[in-house]
């Protein structure tokens, strides 16, 4: 009996941990519905076929040859290869592993039990739910997670073995996604937290306080990491891309994921719950916390309010403090609670329901192109019409901004007007993003002038756009060729 009891004492925590890991993986599955997915795949195919980056823009007729910065070239290539080998399911599974790994790894920055680590990872994932998915920027989440893991484990044990990984991390990161500069922001914030501890300690002995020599070592390895980021096909221009994005008000004010987080919107409720949970735990645990962790959480929280795109970065940073606080509060008690019969049944039920929902939600749409277009408002029907009734020659084609990537992928026969890469592109004589707004506007004169300026021959526009009513009033100039719930096609007479 004693042997049997000991066996179950050992096996139940393993079962609980397995259930939690599977729930984390299942919840990390996302639909490949990102508007930029198409051009990422086509760009990756170009690199695979030619073993080099495009010399300039090869997908639009409005800005051909523009020296765009393909800062995601590594991810584009990997995504294209995975899709070519096993289809969209390969992308879904790959990014699920990336996302789950990011949230699990960052929880390892604290000496917490594995069960608490996975539970905190699930909480962080749910906070970020509105922005994560099959997107190259998930690599930046993984990069930040690995960086935080290295920094806080080095803080506990300041040995060179932790810092020597920084240059390799940033070299790989800089060749996969242009979000790597966020890593340096995290290092600076971490350093500021440690300097603050030095100031507050006022020369007194404090446990875990890094020395000036330690901070100097961090600075040196960080500088080396910064230097190696220039070893990429785009060189210093990867930093230019980030700068252009953050100073471009058109992008920041008009593209959904770059808009500031409003705490009154439904998507931000999870963020507010995380803040509330952290405050409650800090009170319950009577203020026992690592000052650097708290400084980083506050700094990243304020930064993340500037854009929905940064919400997962806050979640990752907050998870370090959350894991620390939960470990103080529960220690082994959580494992015992989840290991009861009711706890195991609850975990199994959650896994079954989440898995069934995810497989149904994803599997059906990615195996049926028409349903994929219908669910995510892509012009599948209009594209089929254009393929069956192709224009005699290349035409000056106008398309919606959010459809550009999809068209590059599904209708490569026709060069596009604009896509997700081009929002920050600038030409001395025009602003393509502003002209997009002019053509899809409500003022007849403005629309006519913009169409004439660009000499548009073919228009593919959302059926809900007011411009359709304006074109309907010009039957001598525009002919309606196709219309469904999602898209409308007009051809110039």
pLDDT at 57: 95
Does some domain include residue 47?
A: no
The reported pLDDT for the residue numbered 335 is 67
- Whether 244 and 381 map to the same domain: the answer is no
Tell me: the pLDDT tens digits for 370-405? 999 999 999 999 999 999 998 877 789 999 999 999
Q: Is the pLDDT of residue 3 over 70?
A: no
**What pLDDT, in 10s, does the model give residues 281-319?**
888 887 778 888 989 999 999 998 888 888 999 999 999
> Could you tell me the pLDDT band of residue 203, with boundaries at 50, 70 and 90?
low
pLDDT, mean over the chain: 90
Residue 362 lies in a domain: no
Whole-number pLDDT of residue 53: 94
pLDDT of residue 371: 94
pLDDT of residue 443: 85
Domain presence at residue 50: no
pLDDT reported for residue 6 = 63
- Residue 320 and residue 385 share a domain: no
The C-alpha atoms of residue 418 and residue 396 are separated, in whole angstroms, by: 12
Is the per-residue pLDDT at 256 higher than 70? yes
In a domain? residue 46: no
Please compute the mean of the pLDDT values over residues 256-275 and round it to a whole number.
79
Residues 7-66 pLDDT 10s: 556 788 888 899 999 999 999 999 999 999 999 999 999 999 999 999 899 999 999 999
* 401 and 481 fall within a common domain: yes
Tens digits of residue pLDDT in 420-435: 999 889 889 899 998 9
Q: Is the pLDDT of residue 5 over 60?
A: no
Regarding whether 300 and 196 lie in a shared domain, the answer is yes
166 plus 297 within the same structural domain:
yes
pLDDT at 194 over 80: yes
Q: Are residues 304 and 229 in the same domain?
A: yes
| Residue 77, in any domain of the structure | no
Whether the predicted pLDDT of 221 surpasses 80: yes
Same domain, yes or no: 192 and 273: yes
Which residue did the predictor score with more confidence, 273 or 185?
185
pLDDT of residue 244: 82
pLDDT single digits (tens) 71-123:
999 999 999 999 999 999 999 999 999 999 999 999 988 888 888 899 999 99
User: Can you tell me the mean pLDDT for 241-265?
Assistant: 78
In this predicted structure, the answer to whether residue 2 has a pLDDT above a threshold of 80 is no
In a domain, 195, yes or no: yes
Domain boundary among 301, 326, 351: 326
Query: Does the pLDDT at position 471 exceed 90?
Result: yes
User: So what's the pLDDT on residue 282?
Assistant: 86
Domain boundary among 287, 311, 326: 326
Q: What is the pLDDT of residue 204?
A: 60
The residue ranking higher by pLDDT, 5 or 233, is 233
Domain count, the chain: 2
For 140-193, the pLDDT digits (tens) are: 999 999 999 999 999 988 888 899 999 999 999 999 999 999 999 999 999 998
Are 318 and 385 part of one and the same domain? Answer: no
pLDDT of residue 380: 97
**Residue 1 pLDDT greater than 60, yes or no:** no
Same domain, 173 and 295: yes
Residue-number span of the structural domain to which 439 is assigned? 377-492
**The predicted structure's pLDDT at residue 7:** 54
User: Among residues 284, 310, 326, which one ends one of the domains?
Assistant: 326
Does 436 map to a domain? yes
The reported pLDDT for the residue numbered 162 is: 93
Asked if residue 73 belongs to a domain, the reply is no
Per-residue pLDDT tens digits for 396-427 = 999 999 999 999 999 999 999 999 999 889 88
pLDDT on residue 343: 87
What is the Cα–Cα distance from 409 to 411, expressed in whole angstroms? 6
Say yes or no: 172 and 298 in one domain. yes
């Amino acid at each position: 009996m004693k042997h049997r009891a000991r066996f179950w004492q050992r096996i139940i925590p393993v079962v609980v941990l397995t259930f939690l890991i599977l729930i984390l993986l299942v919840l990390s599955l996302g639909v490949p519905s990102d508007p930029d997915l198409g051009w990422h795949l086509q760009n990756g195919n170009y690199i695979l076929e030619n073993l080099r980056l495009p010399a300039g823009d090869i997908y639009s007729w409005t800005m051909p040859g523009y020296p765009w910065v393909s800062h995601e070239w590594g991810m584009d290539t990997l995504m294209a290869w995975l899709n070519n080998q096993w289809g969209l399911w390969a992308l879904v599974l790959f990014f699920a592993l990336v996302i789950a790994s990011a949230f699990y790894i960052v929880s390892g920055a604290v000496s917490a039990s594995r069960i608490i680590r996975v539970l905190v990872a699930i909480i962080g994932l749910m906070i970020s739910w509105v922005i994560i998915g099959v997107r190259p920027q998930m690599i930046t989440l993984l990069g930040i997670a690995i960086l935080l893991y290295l920094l806080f484990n080095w803080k506990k044990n300041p040995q060179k073995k932790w810092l020597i990984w920084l240059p390799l991390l940033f070299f790989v990161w800089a060749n996969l996604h242009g979000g790597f500069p966020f890593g340096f922001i995290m290092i600076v914030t971490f350093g500021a937290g440690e300097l603050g501890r030095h100031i507050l300690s006022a020369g007194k002995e404090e446990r875990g306080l890094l020395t000036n020599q330690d901070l100097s070592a961090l600075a040196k390895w960080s500088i080396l990491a910064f230097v190696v980021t220039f070893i990429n096909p785009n060189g210093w221009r990867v930093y230019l891309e980030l700068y252009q994005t953050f100073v471009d008000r058109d992008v920041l004010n008009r593209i959904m994921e770059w808009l500031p987080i409003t705490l009154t919107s439904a998507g931000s409720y999870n963020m507010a719950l995380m803040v509330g949970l952290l405050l409650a735990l800090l009170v319950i645990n009577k203020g026992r916390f690592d000052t650097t962790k708290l400084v980083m959480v506050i700094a990243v929280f304020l930064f993340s309010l500037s854009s929905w795109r940064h919400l997962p970065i806050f979640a990752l940073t907050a998870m370090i403090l959350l894991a620390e606080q939960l470990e103080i509060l529960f220690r082994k008690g959580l494992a015992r609670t989840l290991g009861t019969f009711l706890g195991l049944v609850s975990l199994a039920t959650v896994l079954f329901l989440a898995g069934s929902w995810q497989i149904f939600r994803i599997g059906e749409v990615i195996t049926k192109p028409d349903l994929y277009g219908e669910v995510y408002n892509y012009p599948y029907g209009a594209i089929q019409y254009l393929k069956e009734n192709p224009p005699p020659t290349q035409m000056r084609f106008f398309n919606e901004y959010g459809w550009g990537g999809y068209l590059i992928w599904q209708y490569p026969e026709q060069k596009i007007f604009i896509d997700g890469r081009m929002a920050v592109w600038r030409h001395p004589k025009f602003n393509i993003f502003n002209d997009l707004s002019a053509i899809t506007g409500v003022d007849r004169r403005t629309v006519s002038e913009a169409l004439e300026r660009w000499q548009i021959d073919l228009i593919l526009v959302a059926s809900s756009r007011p411009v359709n009513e304006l074109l309907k009033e010009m039957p001598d100039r525009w002919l309606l060729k196709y219309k469904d719930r999602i898209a409308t096609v007009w051809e110039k007479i």
